[in-house]
Structure 1
Amino acid sequence: MGALMSAAREDAQDDRYTWPRPPVGGWTADDLDRLPDLPPHTELIDGSLVFMSPQADFHMATLRLLEHGLVACAPKDLYIVREMTIRLDRRNRPEPDLMVVPRSARKTRRQTWYDPEVLLLAVEITSPDSEERDREVKPLKYARAGIPHYWRVEHINDAPVVYVYELDPASRTYAVTGIHHKQLKLDRPFAIDIDLTADV
């Protein structure tokens, strides 16, 4: 009986996931493409790996709503991106929920990230585990990188509310230009009209 228990314990240990151990100085942007078996949507923030929690239905429904809306509104020379990272610098590769880039920024089908210089817009949909990153950490980094437009989407009264920010290029900080509850109607970075109450 003891031998069986010991063998079962060893089998269980063999099946456990081995978490990657950070090198001295932390991970780098290139490591995201080299590390095997990382969970989906792993980000690099200040040299540390950030793993995403399972997303709620609100997050996925809002992501779909905004993605479809942006695709419908965007000029033909722009491309709506999801599930890819921005290489801000050697120690930071965050993954916004959505990005808008010029189609010319798509270099190869193997591409896994974009330079911040090509982004027109980064969108983050907050979740309970990402509130601090989406409200404080990422906007600061996106603004310093010169990304001209940032949206933060909050879950309020069971509906999406979109906080729209525009970059002040002199100070490299964001200023809020609007808070949108039912209709997202903007003329920057291009003409946008999205019904936030739509069920998609």
Structure 2
Amino acid sequence: MPAVASTRPFDPLIHLDGLWTLELAQRFLPIDGMPPTRYEAADGKLVMSPRDGSATSWAAFRLGFLLDEPARAAGHAVYSALDVRTDLKGWIEPDLVILRKPVRQQTWIEPDQVLCPVEIISPSSRRRDQIDKPIICARLGIPYFLHVDIRGDEVLVELLHLADGGHTTHAKALSGQRFEVSDPFPISFDPAVLLEPDSRTLQRLSFGRGARPLAIPRHAPRYGGALL
């Protein structure tokens, strides 16, 4: 008896499981009908996580602004929502990425272009954000990795530095303290500025004299733009 052909429609989440590559990602992502989602991959397995809420959006906005000027002064560039290639069957999408030099119209970022990924740790993917991604980046030789961990009214900022094949703590500070480093470029701020303000404190926030606030949309398209 002849085999009956399957009538199941093609579903990339099912039919490409374990087979994802950068080429397939460009062809099939984002997936139609899915809610706003961050797509990453490891060993051909698609890793999806929901877009986070207002706390992450605000922290990314503020941190991108704080990093932008000192990074540019050192010849670097801060981007949002870029895909960093980890191998032929994997990539990560940090909340922000500091590149060694600006790029133009580039879809996939190579590891040797990355100075420092920045991850706002998500409750839905805490292990991947805090443990797995730094390990991946250390294996790729990326010299720095910046964590922001928001828990209620407290925030921890921690900068990791590559040494002896792994990342070690270079600097860290809690809200109310001073996060201050000279490498990879000088920057100093109280992590509390990354917390969402209330209506009273919002009016007191300063972006710097004559500065124009920069939008860093958390729901940016997959291939985001530079903060230049």
Match of 2:13 in 1: 20
Distance 1:69 1:31, change over 3 A: same
> Would you say the 8 A contact 1:163–1:176 is kept in 2?
yes
Alignment of 1:34-45 (within 5 A): 34-38=27-31, 40-45=37-42
Match of 1:61 in 2: 58
Alignment of 1:38-117 (within 5 A): 38=31, 40-76=37-73, 77-104=75-102, 106=103, 108-109=104-105, 111-117=106-112
Match of 1:156 in 2: 151
RMSD: 2.3
Distance in structure 1 (CA, Å) of the matches to 2:30 and 2:144: 33
Unaligned runs of 5+ in 1: 1-16
> Would you say the 8 A contact 2:17–2:46 is kept in 1?
no
TM-score w.r.t. length of structure 2? 0.71
Partner of 1:55, secondary structure, is coil
Q: Deviations over 1:95-139 (max 9, x none)?
A: 0111111335x1x42x22210111111111111111010122111
Q: Deviations over 1:27-74 (max 9, x none)?
A: 112222111443543111221112221312111111111100001221
Partner of 2:146, secondary structure, is strand
Distance in structure 1 (CA, Å) of the matches to 2:108 and 2:167: 23
TM-score w.r.t. length of structure 1? 0.81
Ranges of 4+ aligned residues in structure 1 off by more than 6 Å: none
> Would you say the 8 A contact 2:115–2:144 is kept in 1?
yes
1:177 matches 2:170 = yes
Letter in 1 for 2:82: M
Partner of 2:49, secondary structure, is coil
Unaligned runs of 5+ in 2: 1-9, 198-204, 206-228
Q: Between Structure 1 and Structure 2, how many residues are aligned?
A: 180
If asked which structure has higher relative contact order (CA below 8 Å, sep 6+), I would say 2
Distance in structure 2 (CA, Å) of the matches to 1:37 and 1:135: 25
Distance in structure 2 (CA, Å) of the matches to 1:176 and 1:65: 22
Match of 1:165 in 2: 160
